[in-house]
Structures are given as structure tokens and as C-alpha cells.
């Protein structure tokens, strides 16, 4: 438990603060509407569901204010740059932006459900009190709109006993926008499910952009003022504590209590979402401007296992290791932008990405570049944007774990190391790197074989063989491959990769690996970086907690995962 706290204390504190603010806003709003004299008569009709509806609305506004901030990627990159002097614990939180984005979305869904259920009860009680003929205070309040005295006298939005809940829902501003907001939210959340996002990215991409409709609807949702409270002037003339009991004498001329007058609550949602909305619009304008800058493709390489490598140049483009860009190909899809980790090093005079065919968009892009008779498709690039891998050289010992195409951010890191050694960079804090690459098929190893071979030679020439320790793991193989590798195990180079390091079959035994690293570096800070599936992330995160010492002077493992 202690090791877990060392790695996650700030995340826990941040989430506790966010949850605490949600609880505070909900309770504060609930008590305000449940106790305030202004809503005494409204509560006579609606009961406690008034407070439930308004409290959930307050939390909805708060979380709708937050939902856009984690996807303002330029803002996050700016914060990462300005926070370069901060502790790594603080910078790491920026890499949980999408996780927080999802948590805020779930909170919006929760309060949307509460808000809808509460208003269903409210409309039902409005309808029931409007149809009542028992002379109760609720029925009298519901007929105030028919007194014909003043426009602001009404409290019940149902103007006649024959008016249905459905009619009010689809003819009022609040009701109609509420339906639109709910439909938009359901579509966005369901299309963002892992299965849909991985298998049908286009569905997720297009559906998620109806957030524009969500925010427009939210901004005008409260304009109708269906929920009403007593005016301040009316409170002074006919305070409910003094006049509620004598409601039957309100019509008498000699009565000191007059008919209460009411006013609709002013729209509040737009105040919450205005600032983040403007910030997001500026973010999109900046991204659009950068995406329109010309990109020149200098080299196209088709690797095994349907992997396309694009080497490009762009004026003013500056990157750091492990960063990523968004790529658009107008001839494939004018609107779709897909993120790819940069595989080039900052020291190179170009930037590159490796794109594997995993869906319709990537397959169509690769097919477009394979058609040699046609001109090279035009590419637009937005970025680069920062990731957790930027901090890789802040650790004395580094563990890099890539699964399949997840090796791409580490290709950038390994290339940069190669250049640093070539130029004798004495400011390199990192002393040892452990690199694990896990692939399902042998063809994948061909992507960066040349890079690994160059690093092998470079380390040998410089006498730093122990600096880079890499292990290649093949998880998908047949008996012929295994037998062939076994028969040739005594050769100087691996039969599958041509490298001196032999390929292992199966998956790494992480307990053994972490135990070995901990024993080899008993007083080091070890940064563990993963670009791979969530199941592997859970295993590595668990090992980081398990093998970190409670003594801060001894070995500490810090887990970092790529998210974009």
C-alpha cells in the first residue's frame, strides 16, 4: 500500500479534490432550494425533487466546464513546458488527461440521469396539481396563471388541465433542448466505448463531434425559466411564513396577503461554459492554422506487416523525444485526424511516423501510397504534442516496454541516444536502459532492426555495452519457427532478427525482470515507460508498486503510460 501511495498520491489528491467539489456544489445547491423561502411555494407543488433537479444541474454545469480542458492539447503542451522545473509527480498528471476526461464524462452522465429523473417527477407533479380540484395550496398555485392579473404571477408551466407532459417537453425551450442534450450525450458516450473506438474509429470520430450541439443546447437550456421562485418584492409583501396558511383569503380585499408573484430562474449554464468554450475555440484555431502549413514528404518506406513509414519536413517544426502528431490525408478523409507517435529523433533534419494498418482509414492511406502510378497524397500535420515519454532522460535508469507498433515512441528515444553518444553529450543523466519489445509476428522486428543493430555497434565501440539492455519477445509463432531458432541458437546472431541478442518466445516474466533491475540498481530512480495495451499496463503498474522501496533513498519505480 505504501508503494502505491508513493506512485499515485497526487492523482488521489487531485481526484479527491474534484469529487469534493462535486459533493460541495451538490449539497450547497440542494440545501439552497430545499430551505430558501423564495422557493417555498414551488416546493408546495414539486416537493424535494426541485432540490434534486437543481443540485444535479449545478454539478452538470461544473463538469461541463471541465470536460473540454483535458482535450486542449496545446494548453497541456504549454503547461508541460512551463512545468519543466516541477517535480515529475506533478508533470505526470498531465498524461492522465484522457482518463480525467472520461471520469468527467461519467460524472456528467450520472448527474444527467438524476436531473432527468427529478424533472420527470416535477412534470408529473405539475400535471397532477394542475388537474386537482381539491382546493389545496398546490392546486391554487397552479391556477395563478389564469387569474389574468399580471404576467409574472404564474408558477405552473402547464396552462390548462388538458396540457400533457409530452406537450410541455417538446414545446418549451428547456424541454426540447433537454431532449437534444440527452440524445447527444448518449451518442457521444456509447460511440466512445473501447470496442467502437478501436474497431470503428470513424464512428467515434464523427459522433464525438456532436459535442458542439451539446454545448449549444446546454447554453440555452435555462432560457425558458420553467422553474420559478417568488420575486423579492412579493416576498416582502406576502411572505410565505405569514401568508401560506391564509391562501384561501388571498382574493379578499381586506387581506394583508396578496397573490404571490414569481419569476423564472436566469440561465446559468452559459456562464460556466463560456471561458472553456472560448479557450477551446482558440485551441482549434491554432491547430487549424498549423495544419495548413505545407508538409513535404521526403521518403516513403513500406515495411513488413503492413507498416508505412513517412519521412517529412515542415518549416518551423520542432520536436522532443516521444512526442506525437495528428495526421490528416484529405484524399482519404477531409475531416479525420489520427494521432501517431513520432519515430524520428530531434537531432534529425526530418520527422517521421510509422503507420500500421488497423482500420479503414489507415488501410486506405497505405493503399493510396502504394499506388505508384498516382501522385503522392497530400498530408497535413498538426503538432507536435507532449507526452510522458518526454521525461525519459530525467531518470537514472529507464525501462522501455513496447508492444507491437507501440515501439514507436521508443524508436525516437533510442535514435536520440545514438545521436547523443555520437556527439559525446555529457549532460545525459540516464545511465542504463532496459528495452523490451513484444511482438506477435516475426515481420514486425524488421521495422527497427537497423536501428538496434546500429546501437549495438555504437555501444561496443564506445565500451558501453551495459548501457542498452534489450530483449525481444515473440508471442505468436509456430513449431517450425521455434525449431529453426533452437537449431541455430549457437550462432553469433539471432536467426530471426540478425541481432546479437537472441529472441525469446512467450511473454516476459515481469517479476523476474523487476527483481533483477531492483537488485542491479538498489539506490536508483527507475522510470518505467509503456506504449501498449491496458492489461500490460496493469501488470507493470503492479510491479512498480511491488518492487519500489518504502525507503526513499533506495530503488523507486515510477510507471508512465502513453495516452493519446
Q: Where are the domains of the chain?
A: 2-241+256-284, 293-385, 388-482+490-561
Q: Is the pLDDT of residue 450 over 90?
A: no
Residue 353 pairs with which residues in a beta bridge?
A: 310, 342
Three-state DSSP class for residue 502: coil
Using an 8 Å Cβ cutoff, are 472 and 497 in contact? yes
- Residue written as cell 508513493? 6
**pLDDT tier, 67 (very low <50, low <70, confident <90, very high otherwise):** very high
Distance separating alpha carbons of residues 525 and 349, to the nearest angstrom:
33
Higher pLDDT pick, 548 / 218:
218
Comparing 488 with 35, the larger pLDDT belongs to 35
Look over the chain and give the mean of its residue pLDDT values, rounded to a whole number. 81
Domain at 388-482+490-561: CATH architecture:
3-Layer(aba) Sandwich (3.40)
Angle between helices 510-520 and 534-547 (to 10 degrees): 40
Set of cell numbers at residue 465 = 555495452
Instruction: Considering only residues 161 and 483, tell me which one the structure prediction assigns the higher pLDDT.
Output: 161
Question: Rounded CA gap, 465 and 442, in Å?
Answer: 25
Query: Rounded to two decimals, what is the model's pTM?
Result: 0.79
> pLDDT at residue 423 above 80?
no
- Torsion region of 72: left, alpha or beta (phi above 0 gives left; psi -120 to 50 gives alpha): beta
Q: Which among 480, 513, 512, 516 has a CA at the least distance from the CA of 495?
A: 480
Of the given ranges (110-119, 130-139, 305-314, 350-359), which has the lowest mean pLDDT?
130-139
Does residue 195 surpass a pLDDT of 50? yes
For β-strands 397-403 and 504-505, DSSP reports them as unpaired
- Of residues 160, 208, 162, the one with CA closest to residue 186: 208
CATH (residue range 293-385): 2.40.30.10
Q: Is the pLDDT of residue 119 over 70?
A: yes
Q: Which residues of 62-84 are buried (b: 16+ CB within 10 A; e: fewer)?
A: bbbbbbbbbebbbbbbebbeeee
How many other C-beta atoms can be found within 10 angstroms of the C-beta atom of residue 116? 15
Separation between Cα atoms, residue 280 and residue 468, nearest integer Å: 42
Please say if the pLDDT value at position 146 is more than 70. Answer: no
Q: Other C-beta atoms within 10 Å of 279: how many?
A: 15
Looking at residue 396, what is its pLDDT?
85
pLDDT for the residue 254: 60
pLDDT above 90: residue 105: yes
CA nearest to 377, candidates 297, 306, 312, 290: 297
CB atoms within 10 A of CB 185: 20
Q: Check pLDDT > 60 for residue 339.
A: yes
Tell me the C-alpha distance between 397 and 302, whole Å: 34
Count the helix, strand and coil residues of the chain and give each as a percent rounded to the nearest 5.
55, 15, 30
pLDDT at 28 exceeding the cut of 90:
yes
Task: State what percent of residues in the chain have pLDDT above 90.
Answer: 18
Residue 531 is predicted with a pLDDT of 81
- Contact status, residue 442 vs residue 481, Cβ threshold 8 Å: yes
| CA atoms of 375 and 420, how far apart (whole Å) | 37
pLDDT attached to residue 495: 52
Average pLDDT over residues 179-197: 90
Given pLDDT bands bounded at 50, 70 and 90, which one contains residue 2? very low
Residue 83 pLDDT level (bands cut at 50, 70, 90):
low
Amino acid at each position: 500500500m505504501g508503494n502505491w501511495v508513493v506512485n499515485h498520491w497526487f492523482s488521489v489528491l487531485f481526484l479527491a479534490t474534484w469529487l469534493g467539489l462535486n459533493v460541495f456544489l451538490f449539497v450547497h445547491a440542494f440545501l439552497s432550494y430545499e430551505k430558501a423561502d423564495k422557493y417555498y411555494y414551488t416546493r408546495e407543488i414539486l416537493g424535494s425533487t426541485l432540490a434534486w433537479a437543481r443540485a444535479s444541474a449545478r454539478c452538470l454545469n461544473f463538469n461541463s466546464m471541465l470536460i473540454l480542458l483535458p482535450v486542449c492539447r496545446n494548453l497541456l503542451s504549454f503547461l508541460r513546458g512551463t512545468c519543466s522545473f516541477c517535480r515529475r509527480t506533478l508533470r505526470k498528471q498531465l498524461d492522465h488527461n484522457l482518463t480525467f476526461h472520461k471520469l468527467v464524462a461519467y460524472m456528467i452522465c450520472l448527474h444527467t440521469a438524476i436531473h432527468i429523473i427529478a424533472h420527470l417527477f416535477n412534470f408529473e407533479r405539475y400535471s397532477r396539481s394542475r388537474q386537482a380540484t381539491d382546493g389545496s395550496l398546490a392546486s391554487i398555485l397552479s391556477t395563478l396563471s389564469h387569474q389574468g392579473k399580471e404576467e409574472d404571477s404564474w408558477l405552473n408551466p402547464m396552462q390548462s388541465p388538458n396540457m400533457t407532459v409530452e406537450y410541455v417537453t417538446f414545446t418549451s425551450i428547456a424541454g426540447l433542448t433537454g431532449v437534444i442534450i440527452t440524445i447527444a450525450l448518449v451518442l457521444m458516450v456509447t460511440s466512445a466505448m473501447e470496442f467502437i473506438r478501436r474497431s470503428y474509429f470513424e464512428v467515434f470520430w464523427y459522433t464525438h463531434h456532436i459535442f458542439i450541439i451539446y454545448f449549444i443546447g446546454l447554453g440555452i437550456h435555462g432560457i425558458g425559466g420553467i422553474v420559478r421562485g417568488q420575486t423579492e418584492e412579493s416576498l416582502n409583501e406576502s411572505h410565505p411564513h405569514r401568508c401560506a396558511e391564509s391562501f384561501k383569503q388571498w382574493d379578499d380585499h381586506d387581506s394583508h396577503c396578496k397573490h404571490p408573484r414569481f419569476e423564472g430562474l436566469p440561465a446559468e449554464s452559459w456562464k460556466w461554459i463560456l471561458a472553456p468554450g472560448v479557450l477551446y475555440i482558440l485551441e482549434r484555431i491554432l491547430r487549424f492554422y498549423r495544419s495548413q502549413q505545407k508538409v513535404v514528404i521526403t521518403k516513403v518506406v513500406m515495411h513488413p506487416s503492413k507498416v508505412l513509414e513517412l519521412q517529412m519536413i515542415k518549416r518551423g517544426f520542432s520536436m522532443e523525444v516521444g512526442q506525437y502528431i495528428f495526421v490528416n490525408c484529405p484524399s482519404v478523409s477531409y475531416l479525420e485526424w489520427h494521432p501517431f507517435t513520432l519515430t524520428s529523433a530531434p537531432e534529425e533534419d526530418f520527422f517521421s511516423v510509422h503507420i500500421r494498418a488497423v482500420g479503414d482509414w489507415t488501410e486506405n492511406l497505405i493503399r493510396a501510397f502504394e499506388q505508384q502510378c498516382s501522385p503522392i497524397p497530400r498530408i497535413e500535420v498538426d503538432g507536435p504534442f507532449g507526452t510522458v515519454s518526454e521525461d525519459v532522460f530525467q531518470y537514472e535508469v529507464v525501462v522501455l516496454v513496447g508492444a507491437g507498433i507501440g515501439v514507436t515512441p521508443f524508436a525516437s528515444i533510442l535514435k536520440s541516444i545514438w545521436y547523443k553518444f555520437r556527439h559525446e553529450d555529457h549532460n545525459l543523466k540516464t545511465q542504463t536502459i532496459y528495452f523490451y519489445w513484444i511482438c506477435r509476428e516475426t515481420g514486425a522486428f524488421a521495422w527497427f532492426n537497423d536501428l538496434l543493430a546500429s546501437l549495438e555497434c555504437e555501444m561496443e565501440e564506445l565500451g558501453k555495452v551495459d548501457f542498452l539492455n534489450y530483449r525481444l519477445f515473440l508471442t505468436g509463432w509456430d513449431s517450425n519457427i521455434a525449431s529453426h531458432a533452437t537449431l541455430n541458437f549457437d550462432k553469433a546472431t539471432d536467426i530471426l532478427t540478425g541481432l546479437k541478442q537472441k529472441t525469446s518466445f512467450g511473454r516476459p516474466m515481469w517479476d523476474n525482470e523487476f527483481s533483477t533491475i531492483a537488485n542491479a540498481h538498489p539506490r536508483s530512480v527507475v522510470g518505467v515507460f509503456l506504449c501498449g495495451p491496458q492489461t500490460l499496463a496493469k501488470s507493470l503498474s503492479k510491479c512498480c508498486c511491488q518492487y519500489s522501496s518504502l525507503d526513499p533513498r533506495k530503488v523507486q519505480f515510477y510507471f508512465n503510460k502513453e495516452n493519446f
